[in-house]
Amino acid sequence: MKNGNGSDKIKELVKQFVGECNPLETHEKLLLLSDARTGAHYCECHILGSKIIALGTTDVPLDPDEQPEYRANREIEEGSVAFQKMKDDAKLQRSFSNIVAEWKKDSEDLLASPLKIIGGQHRFEAIRYALESQADVYHGVKVYFALDMPQRLDVQLISNTNIDISGDLIDRLRETAKGSQLRDWCQATGLLKKAQDFADSYTRNGPISVRMATTFITNYYMGKPIDSKNFANVATAPVVYKSGGSDDQWEQTKAAHPQLWTDQGLLTAGKEFAALIRAQRAAFENSKKQGKRAKPDYPEKALNLAIMAAWAYVAGVLHNNSPRLKRHFALKDWTSHDPLNASQLANGRHWSDATNYRGLGYRTDPQERGRFAELFFIQAEDGKGITKSSIDIAIKKYHAKQGQLEVREAEAKAKEANG
């Protein structure tokens, strides 16, 4: 025993593990260690590939008690060149290491595989492939025992630092560990399909990411304190979260709005935006049927983070202005062209833009978000959809507002300096 004492329960689990997995290290030589940071108990050993496959599974929920249907592991990248090389190496009797697992007997399913692969699912599949050619060698495995939820999340995150883990996957794991509320809300709005989980890494036509969902909700609440009558005179700056970074601001949003999950105004906004996503996609499905081809990003334009943030922000601003909110939601009904008029957005630019600026709707920086906030606010005022003229006016309004705000800030500083 090292780095801590194991409880009787953990000792019994280790005994079971040794008896069934028969690691190269005997029970007497097997060291049970503990992570001083989290208290998680583990051992490091070598197990035959045939035992790993016979007793192991990558079908592992992060939260087996409350959310058993949602997986901890990312999807296998079958087309990856690195994965194909890994399979070829395994067939040639390559011995892998850094496989991370939890030994857990499922009391509710005695036939379930007890060796839960938390990290190294690509290695696991490569070992399975090698066994088809009778290539059976020992592999290095780090096995944990009796993990609680925080420990399991920690293990999942650190076990993936050896690969190019996406920020979206980190976000998904964190959010799953907190509970199902965000996922349930997104499924209720239609932003996710029924039983669908968040993306490991967002791709076109795929599910949304945690980053997108939290960005949407936070901006709705950021917009609510803004008086729509004073919109032209105050800073209106939607935010976009970074994937894989600190989630402190998201936690602050939830703490400030304890009724978030039952807020009917927010729920309606989420449903309306999901409808806008569908309408944008449908517009190009119809064009495709007519033999017309569009740029591949046009159908997914609603999921540009600047657009998503600004649309939610304006929905928050107009939450108590029913006529204008109705016109804001009605953007999805403009079916004479795609609701977001992606081709016209691409032509939108300001004289100060750099020569490599591709037009409105391709970036997510603060300026892009601010321009879209002005555009959606204008559209909600006249209800005429997104047009070439409204795009031009919105861009000019954004820059005019920024100039006014800079003047006020300079005047305030001068007044302060002069006493």
- pLDDT number for residue 161: 54
Does residue 54 register a pLDDT over 90? yes
What is the rounded distance in angstroms from the CA atom of residue 326 to the CA atom of residue 329? 5
Residue 385 CA: distances (Å) to CA of 220, 344, 382:
21, 12, 8
- pLDDT number for residue 336: 73
* pLDDT class of 213 with cuts at 50, 70, 90: very high
Burial of 224-263, coded b for 16+ CB within 10 Å and e otherwise, reads bebebeebeeeebebebbebbeebeebeebbeebeebeeb
Average pLDDT, the chain: 89
Ranges of each domain in the chain: 8-165, 181-415
Angle at 375 between CA 384 and CA 409, to 5 degrees: 145
Per-residue model confidence as pLDDT tens digits over 30-52:
999 999 999 999 999 999 999 99
- pLDDT number for residue 154: 86
Per-residue model confidence as pLDDT tens digits over 138-161:
999 999 999 988 898 888 877 765
Is the torsion defined by CA of 184, 188, 190, 195 positive or negative? positive
Could you tell me how many helices (H) and strands (E) the chain has, helices first? 15, 6
Q: Judge contact between 154 and 51, C-beta under 8 A.
A: no
Cα distance between the two ends of the chain: 69
> Per-residue pLDDT averaged across 325-332, rounded?
97
Does residue 114 register a pLDDT over 80? yes
Does residue 225 register a pLDDT over 50? yes
**Tokens 């990248």 correspond to what residue?**
77
> Per-residue pLDDT averaged across 288-306, rounded?
85
- pLDDT number for residue 200: 87
Per-residue model confidence as pLDDT tens digits over 349-382:
999 988 889 999 999 999 999 999 999 999 999 9
Does residue 2 register a pLDDT over 50? no
Per-residue model confidence as pLDDT tens digits over 235-283:
999 999 988 878 899 999 999 999 999 999 999 999 999 999 999 999 9
Does residue 110 register a pLDDT over 70? no
Q: Which of 112-121, 286-295, 349-358 has the lowest mean pLDDT?
A: 286-295
Three-state secondary structure call for residue 222: helix
- Tell me which of 398 and 173 has the higher pLDDT: 398
Does residue 1 register a pLDDT over 50? no
- pLDDT number for residue 289: 65
**Torsion, CA 357, CA 361, CA 364, CA 369, rounded to 10:** 110
Half-sphere exposure of 328 (CA within 13 A, CB side): 31
- pLDDT number for residue 40: 94
- pLDDT number for residue 3: 46
- pLDDT number for residue 173: 86
> Per-residue pLDDT averaged across 18-22, rounded?
94
What is the rounded distance in angstroms from the CA atom of residue 222 to the CA atom of residue 319? 12
* pLDDT class of 60 with cuts at 50, 70, 90: confident
Q: Which of 98-102, 154-158, 384-388 has the lowest mean pLDDT?
A: 154-158
What is the rounded distance in angstroms from the CA atom of residue 74 to the CA atom of residue 83? 14
- pLDDT number for residue 291: 67
